[in-house]
Structure formats: structure tokens, C-alpha cells
Structure 1
Amino acid sequence: MEMQTKALKPRLSFWQLWNMSFGFFGIQFGFALQNANTSRIFTTLGANPDNLSLFWLAAPVTGLLVQPVIGYLSDNTWHPRWGRRRPFFFGGAVLAALALFLMPNSVALWMAVSVLWMMDAAINVSMEPFRAFVGDKLDESQHTAGFAMQTFFIGVGAVIASMLPTIFTEYLHVSNASVNGSIPDSVRYSFYVGAAVFLFAVSWTVLTADELPPEDVESFDAQRKHARSFGVALREIFGGFARMPRTMVQLAFVQFFTWIALFAMWIYTTNGIAENVYHTTDPHSAAFQDAGNWVGVLFAVYSGVSALGAFILPVFARATSRKTVHAVCLAIGGASLASLFFITTKQALLVPMIGVGLAWASILSMPYAILAGSLPAKRMGYYMGLFNFFVVIPQICSGTLLGFANKYLFDGHSIRILVLGGASMALAAALTLFVTDKSGRGAADR
């Protein structure tokens, strides 16, 4: 029955793929602003660098709590006009836009940390159903293309968002200075733009993409009423760990070490580059704020590479396999991240970002394409949400341990955390080789 359901899914055109994925442009716009500027905001408001990873715990903890619940709820939602996933897209977008407006107006560290909780929860509400959206609408032969289109918009959104503080400073002559410990205007205006873009892009997908109805609406309604029981919901949400497909278990280990590396990069790149290249640890100095802008440029480079890689990697996946491509990209990304330790000029920092971008392109598409082929269609949202546990658990581990490592193992030299992250990504590359991909060679979109 499940194979017949998959066979009945219509093949979508390029522009249909575009419309259903465009919301990710806005989601990543907000996510990139968060990644590139949160440590800068926290430090400007007085955070000790040794505690940055603890303050960042808001992001993974909200993901841990929100994504499986949203996945479960969206699986059991249906409206004839608004569908299954789109109500969650839009609700999350409204909350995320509000958080993006509030973050740069934080007047104290506690406020910024609180807003980060709100922002990340809202982004997760929008983002998780987008992963399931691909499995819902596309035949398996288009899964890789669907996730590649999402990765393209993720890359483009992140490039523009990461560059915004520099654009405001260099071209629009907006102040990049921290006056009396406040957030620079260049950062504040960037978040305002991000709020508008997030809401617009997600609304575009909500209004232009439709959803396939349940095969049997009466049966679905009966199942949904049963699922509304709180006890049933809890058993379903947390009982799935014992029923995870083999491929999902294998990918969990890959994701664990991959996301330790990414979290290390997002938290410590600004402080590491400020010290290693700009020779400052003073968050209120002009040099530190310049370092913050340059980190935005670096993140834009890896995001831009990922946008291009989104269309190149499926070609290599057809010729080899998805897991081979993913393993190679992670190995390149790990070596690139570790190499930042040896670079002391700002322009040279651009080179390893190419390798990080290749890894990021693969991280955003290949694991999900491999996973989607191993999941039951009716449980796509739930399992995609559950899979997010293996994104956020390593971030929680990083949040609790990286500050200790930075202080006691690396004497406060944050750049060394990036070397640790590179080694973790290299280990993830090795583990990828042991993943079972059901569709195997040639599973990319044909």
C-alpha cells in the first residue's frame, strides 16, 4: 500500500519545487542572523566568553522540546484549505519575526538570552514541518531534488543575512560602534530586515503551495481524535526511539559529531577570529566589532558555496552514492574548520570557508534524503522531528562542555575550539561510511 501511495504522487515542476521551498529562504535568513550575531550580542552585553556556550543552550533545548511535538502535531493536522504543515509554517513565522525585532533591542544579557529561547523555538516551529513537506509532496525519485532546493534557499538566505551588518556599515554608512555597551545600529537594522523577510518568504510558500489530502479522510479523523489523548501523544512522541529504522540509528551517530562541530563554529568563531586575527578580546573595541562583521562575511561565503553545492552534489550522488558524497564533504569541512587555527590574515580566512560550505550543503540535504527513503510516509513529520534529537543533543553536550574546555584546556583561546570541531566533523565523515542507504547508488533525483 505504501509503495502505491508513493507512486501516485505527481512529479512536480521546477517552479512548484521553488514555491514549496521558498519559505526556507526566510527561515534561514533568521537562522543566519542568529548564528552570526548572537555571540557578538551576548559579548557586547557583558557575557564572559567562557559562558557563551551555556547561554547558547537555549537553541538546542528548544529544538529538543519543540520539533518532535510539532512533527507529531502536524502529522495529525488537516484542514481542507490550509493543509497539514502550512499552519505551523505561518504561526512560527509570526513569532520568529517578533523575536528578530526584539533581539537587537535587548538592554541586558538576560533579555537577549530570553529572546534567543523565543526566537529558536519559533524558528523550529516553522522549520521542522518543511522537512516533512518534501516527504509529503514528492515521490522518492524527487526527494534529493526537493532537499537540494531547500538547501539552495538556505544558502542564498544565509549569504544575504550574514552580509547585512557589513552592507549597512560599508555601503549605507550605518554605525557599527557599540555606544555605552549597546548593540550597534548595523546589527539592529539587520535584524529588522530579517523579521520582514522571514514573514514574507514563509507566507509565499503558505499561499502558493498546496498539500496532498489524506487518502481516507474519515480514517484520518478517527486516528487524529485518538492522537489527541495526552497519554497517547507522549507514548507516540517518546516511544519512537525504540522503533527507529536502522538507517536512522546510523545517521544519528553521524549527526551527533557533525553538530558538535557546527555548534563550536557558531559559538566561538567571532571570539576566536577577534583574538587570532584582530588581536583583541575587548568586545567594545572597534576591532572586535569589525571582527564580528568579518565573521558575517565568512559565514556568507560558506552559505554561498552551499547554495551552489545544493545543485552540484546530487550529480555526484548519482555517479557514486549519497553516503559517499556526504562522507567526502564532511572530511573536507572538518579539515577546513581546523585550518582556521593557522590563519592570521582576514582575507586568507575566506579559503577554508569554501570547504565548510561544501560540508554545510551536504549536511542540509544528504542525511535527510537518505532518511526520507527509510521512513513510513504517514509518519514522516514525526520521524523528521525525532531525528532532530540527534541535532540538538550534541548541541546540548557542546553547550555544557565547550565552555569548560575553552577555560581549562585551551586557556581561553577560543580558536582552539574550532580545531576540536574540525576533528569532530572528520569523525562524522568516517561514521557516514557505515550508513545503510536503502535507495543506494543513483538515488539522487533522476
Structure 2
Amino acid sequence: MSQTESGAPAQSVKQPKLPFWQVWNVSFGFLGVQFGFALQNANASRILSDLGADLHALSLFWIVAPLMGLIVQPIVGSASDRTWSRFGRRNPYILFGAIAAALGMAFMPNAGLVVAFIAPMLFGGVMLALMDAAFNVTMQPFRALVSDMVPSEQRTLGYSIQSLLINVGAVFGSMLPFILTNVIGLDNTSQAGEVAPSVIWAFYIGATVLLGSVLWTVFRTKEYSPKEYNAYKGIDAEQLAGELAERKSLLERLQGFTKLLFNMPKTMRQLAVVQFFSWFALFIMWVYTTPAITQHVWGVDAKWFDHDYLATVGQIPEHIAAAKGAAGDWVGIIFAAYSLFAAIFSIALTKIAGTFGRKPTYALSLLLGGLGYISFLMFQGGELTQVNLLITEVTVPSGALGLLLPMIGVGIAWAAILAMPYAILSDSLPASKTGVYMGIFNFTIAAPQILSALVAGPILHGVFGNEAIYIIVLAGVFMILGAISVFFVREPEVEVDTLEPEPVVA
């Protein structure tokens, strides 16, 4: 039994299944959010290096990303659980976060313009923190919105569509600087303290796409009223209203949060181990792929990533600047490739998980991702090869072209990481606390990234002598450990909707 807003008893109501395109609209804003994330992931290290950051210090700049998630997501999750307004429950947070993220994207690549007021490298770090805080304000309610609106038997479908849209956005976001250089003709080279024009304009376009897609979801998704939501989720509305009206001190709130943390569902704890290994690896990829392939494939010595060395040479030689620019653009291509492979795999993910089970699908996906990272070692330098990318032709070392192969495994792993943990987790969470628990679950994303940020730089410098390719191999080892840990997760028994998203296939 559940109760209405007035407290009168009401029969529990089965939450209706949604038409495909309504599930699509609920998740559509993820396309723009990931468009922005992809630009950041492929270009933040490039921007920070251009602004003067040392190679082994890059991970310390990137630490702001998981820190913002760790701080912001539980707060926003709890707040959105307690919000009922005429604008919706989750939508106000989604829209506010998107506006702030767009502003951060517009300002970050322009750090060189504020040199008279603040060091460009510091300004870039501050804007990276603002972007990540805003991305997290937007992302967390989006996760909870899918759980709110999509019934249990459609959850795998919902999160698979979400994964598809995320990766479509990532493909175009990752490729954008390359397109602006090789199709439009913008310059992709820079000197110390500056950012390439192609990257600056890519961030402007990304901010526009982010806002547009989020507005689509906000205006095309009508959230359930409190009465409907409580009926569908079997919540005692009178008791919930009393809890929300109760004023608690900060200490009491912290105690309540701590209690939630220690009483989290067992499935959530077990998934945390998988998340640790997989997100530790992903963080390494985002931070160090650019220097790794610049060194390993384009043959640029590690000293050209050293701030102190650059200060002694003044002007960067033209061939070094060109190689770094070309490698940075190619990172966008291979990141777009893994996102494309992830998007394709997302279409089949619902059917595969329904046929073989979520856990085997999840584990095999992570294994393929780990092998993909390790295989980076196989592709080094090589003869210059002309590549037709349909939109343009470029000449790159053969090793760069070979890196598209490992991206198949990385893309499959990424699709599974975006969908499977949430599909498994959402069925084990209490409906009245979905937002806050989704926020707490973000600890399992943020914590391994924070640890990776703290230790990856010293490992790269002290163990691998700043040869970044070997830190990518280490990421592969961690991803394989994640695959093994999947088999220790116990998932709740639910009916899974195994229908493929036919309109997308068509």
C-alpha cells in the first residue's frame, strides 16, 4: 500500500512503460553533456601543457574533476530528492548545471587573455574545476531522472540509450578540434602560454551543443507529480512529507548521511570494487594518452613536456610544435573511435545482457578494454601513411593508424561502464533515496580517480622515467582486475526488458 499526498491510503500503482521516444527524450541531454566531457577529456591535458603544466603534474590538475564529483553529486542528489517544484524535481538542477558548464567551457581555453591578472595555468585549472563542478551538477540529476521516469523492466534499455547518446556526443566532441583544423583550416599549433585556435573554437561550439541538448530534455520531459511518483514507487507520502519538513542540524544531517553510507545496499558495495579498478584506469587514459602517443608514436622526447626545459629554449621548434599539434588532434580521433565503437555496442547491449546476463557481459567488456590499453605498446612510430577519414585526408605514422584497433576494446568497456553498473544498482535502491544514493555511488567513481591523480604522476616519473606509454599499460592491468571483480557482485533478481531499441537500428 502507498498513500496519496493527503495521507489517504491508495492502492500501489504499476509504473507505466514509456514509449521509446519518451525514454530517448529523458536521456537526450546526455549527448550535449558528453560532448563537453569529450572535449575536456581529449584536450584538457593539451591545454594545461600549453599553459605550462609539467608532464608528471598533469594528474594533480585533473584531481579537481573527481573532487568536484565527490563534493557536488551527493549534495545535489540529496537536494533533488527533496525538491518538488512546478519546474520539476530534477530538471532545475540539470539546467543550472548546464549553464555553468557552458560558461566554464567558454572561458577555459582563453586563459592566455588574463595573463595580466592571473597566471594562465592557474586560471585554466580554476576553469577546469568550474566545468567539472557544473558537469556534476548536471550529470547526477540526469542519472536519477532516468531512474525516476523509467520503470524497472525498461532500466537496461534506458541506460543503454543513455550510453548510446553519451557516445554519439563523445564522437563529435572528440573529433571537433581535428575537424576545425583539417576541414575548416584553423591553426592547431601553439606556443607556451597559449592555446591553439582550433581548440578555442571547439570549446565555444561544445558549450552551444551542451546547452541546446539539455534544453531539449528539460522542455520535452514532464516529470511525475509527487502523487504519481509516490504511487508508482510505493512511497508513504505522509511519512515522507514529515521527514522532508523536519528541520535537522548540520550534525544530524551528517549523521544521517553517514548512516546511509554505512547501510548502503550490498550490491552497491560490491560494485564499488569494480568501479575502483575501471575508473582508476579511465583516469589514466584521459590524462596521459596525449603525451603517451606524442612520445611513443610521433617520437617527441619527454623533455618537451617539461616546464623547466621549455623555459630554457624560449621558442618551441616548429617541427616539435607541429608533432604535438598533430598528436593532440589524433587523440581526438582515437577518442572519437572508442566512443563510436561504444555507441555501436550500446545498441546491442540490452539484447546481449538479456541473453547472457549482466555480469558476464560486464566482465567480458572490461577484459577487452584492458587488453586494448596493453596493446598500445604494439603501435610505435612507423612510416608516414595517408589516411582517408571521409571528411578529409591526413598523413600520420602507421602506428597512429594502428591505435584504432585497441579502441574497439576500450569502446566496448566504456559502453558497459556507462550502463551496466547503473542498471544493476538501480534495482537495489530505495525509491525515496535514489538521488542521494546515486550521489553516494559517485564516490566509487571519484575516489579511484583521486587516488590515480595522486599516485600516477609519481609512478610515471619515478618508475617509468616519464615514458607515458607504460602508464597506459598499467591502466590495462587495472581494467582486467575490474573484469575479475565483477564475478563477486550479487545483483538483485528483476525482469529485464530485452527489446532492442528498434527505431535506432532502423
TM-score class normalised by the smaller sequence? over 0.9
* One-letter amino acid matched to 1:181: G
TM-score, structure 1 as length reference: 0.96
Q: 1:370 aligns with which of 413, 424, 427?
A: 424
Q: 2-side partners of 1:6 and 1:385: how far apart?
A: 27
Q: How do residues 175-254 of structure 1 correspond to structure 2 at under 5 angstroms?
A: 175-179=187-191, 181-214=193-226, 215=230, 220-226=240-246, 229-254=249-274
Corresponding position of 2:451: 397
Contact 1:68/1:237 (CA < 8 Å) preserved in 2? no
Give secondary structure in 1 for the equivalent of 2:429.
coil
Contact 1:6/1:139 (CA < 8 Å) preserved in 2? no
Corresponding position of 1:164: 176
Deviates more, 1:7-16 or 1:378-387: 7-16
TM-score, structure 2 as length reference: 0.85
1:32 aligns with 2:38: yes
TM-superposed CA distance for 1:240, in Å, is 1.6
Give secondary structure in 1 for the equivalent of 2:79.
helix
Q: 1-side partners of 2:12 and 2:173: how far apart?
A: 37
TM-superposed CA distance for 1:229, in Å, is 4.6
**Residues 21-75 of structure 1, C-alpha deviations (whole Å, 9 max, x = no match):** 1110111011111100000011111111011111111001111000011111100
Q: 1-side partners of 2:214 and 2:144: how far apart?
A: 15
Q: Residues 427 and 180 (structure 1 numbering): CA distance in 2 closer, same or farther, change over 3 Å?
A: closer
Q: 2:467 aligns with which of 413, 429, 436?
A: 413
* One-letter amino acid matched to 2:376: L
Corresponding position of 2:154: 142
Contact 2:50/2:191 (CA < 8 Å) preserved in 1? no
TM-superposed CA distance for 1:218, in Å, is 5.8
Q: 2-side partners of 1:131 and 1:213: how far apart?
A: 18
1:263 aligns with 2:299: no
TM-superposed CA distance for 1:164, in Å, is 0.3
Q: Residues 414 and 332 (structure 1 numbering): CA distance in 2 closer, same or farther, change over 3 Å?
A: same
How large is the RMSD of aligned CA atoms in angstroms?
A: 1.7
Deviates more, 1:307-316 or 1:93-102: 307-316
Q: Residues 180 and 398 (structure 1 numbering): CA distance in 2 closer, same or farther, change over 3 Å?
A: closer
TM-superposed CA distance for 1:181, in Å, is 3.5
Contact 2:366/2:413 (CA < 8 Å) preserved in 1? yes
TM-superposed CA distance for 1:224, in Å, is 2.1
**Residues 204-258 of structure 1, C-alpha deviations (whole Å, 9 max, x = no match):** 1111101112237665443322266533432333332211111001000000010
Q: 2-side partners of 1:331 and 1:310: how far apart?
A: 17
Q: 2-side partners of 1:336 and 1:5: how far apart?
A: 52
Q: 1:380 aligns with which of 427, 434, 451?
A: 434
Q: Residues 406 and 258 (structure 1 numbering): CA distance in 2 closer, same or farther, change over 3 Å?
A: same
TM-superposed CA distance for 1:399, in Å, is 0.5
Q: 1:349 aligns with which of 397, 403, 411?
A: 403
**Residues 407-426 of structure 1, C-alpha deviations (whole Å, 9 max, x = no match):** 00001101100110000000
Give secondary structure in 2 for the equivalent of 1:106.
helix
Q: Residues 7 and 405 (structure 1 numbering): CA distance in 2 closer, same or farther, change over 3 Å?
A: farther
Q: 2:92 aligns with which of 87, 90, 101?
A: 87
Give secondary structure in 1 for the equivalent of 2:496.
coil
Q: 2-side partners of 1:232 and 1:382: how far apart?
A: 16
Q: 1:286 aligns with which of 306, 322, 325?
A: 322
Corresponding position of 2:101: 96
Q: Residues 289 and 5 (structure 1 numbering): CA distance in 2 closer, same or farther, change over 3 Å?
A: farther
Q: 1-side partners of 2:327 and 2:192: how far apart?
A: 19
Corresponding position of 1:311: 347
Q: 2-side partners of 1:113 and 1:338: how far apart?
A: 30
Contact 2:154/2:496 (CA < 8 Å) preserved in 1? no
Give secondary structure in 2 for the equivalent of 1:117.
helix
Contact 1:10/1:139 (CA < 8 Å) preserved in 2? yes
Q: Tell me the number of residue pairs that the alignment of Structure 1 and Structure 2 aligns.
A: 443
TM-superposed CA distance for 1:6, in Å, is 8.2
Percentage of matched positions with identical amino acids: 45
* One-letter amino acid matched to 2:447: I
1:437 aligns with 2:488: no
* One-letter amino acid matched to 1:42: L
Contact 1:69/1:237 (CA < 8 Å) preserved in 2? no
Q: 1:129 aligns with which of 141, 146, 157?
A: 141
Contact 1:265/1:421 (CA < 8 Å) preserved in 2? yes
Contact 2:35/2:209 (CA < 8 Å) preserved in 1? yes
**Residues 164-190 of structure 1, C-alpha deviations (whole Å, 9 max, x = no match):** 000000000011110453100000000
Corresponding position of 1:328: 364
Contact 1:322/1:444 (CA < 8 Å) preserved in 2? no
* One-letter amino acid matched to 2:428: S
* One-letter amino acid matched to 2:56: D
Corresponding position of 2:84: 78
Give secondary structure in 1 for the equivalent of 2:89.
coil
Q: Residues 384 and 157 (structure 1 numbering): CA distance in 2 closer, same or farther, change over 3 Å?
A: same
Q: Residues 399 and 249 (structure 1 numbering): CA distance in 2 closer, same or farther, change over 3 Å?
A: same
Gaps of 5+ in 1: none
Greater radius of gyration (CA): 2
Contact 2:51/2:192 (CA < 8 Å) preserved in 1? no
Q: 2-side partners of 1:11 and 1:301: how far apart?
A: 33
Q: 1:109 aligns with which of 98, 104, 121?
A: 121
* One-letter amino acid matched to 1:436: R
Give secondary structure in 2 for the equivalent of 1:171.
helix
Contact 1:226/1:232 (CA < 8 Å) preserved in 2? no
